[in-house]
Amino acid sequence: MPKERTDMEWAIGQLIVSVQQSWNDEAGLPEADESMAVMRRCHDLLQAAKAGNLADLLRGRTIPRYIGGLWLGTHPHARRQVDIVAATLTSMLK
């Protein structure tokens, strides 16, 4: 039986989908490299969430800062998902 995802894992998964859409749209362009780097950071977030060590990965950084503020500034459609991940993290810490 498959393991159920936590709210955090689900939120990060949706963020990965959003970043992946950007990366696909940018295929062949120089911007695709940064989107790939952001996608890797999102996968790191997911692995850390699964392992229960998200705080260790972030080391005091916010989710937007960890993802990359410059990238988010040029990809506003992903901001909603980042905000959901951040809100989920905040509710977990309460």
Domain coordinates in residue numbering, the chain: 7-21+32-93
pLDDT for 92 equals: 81
pLDDT for 2 equals: 58
Amino acid residing at 8: M
* Dihedral sign from CA coordinates of 58, 63, 66, 67: positive
Tokens encoding 9: 């894992």
**Residues of the chain scoring pLDDT < 70:** 1-2
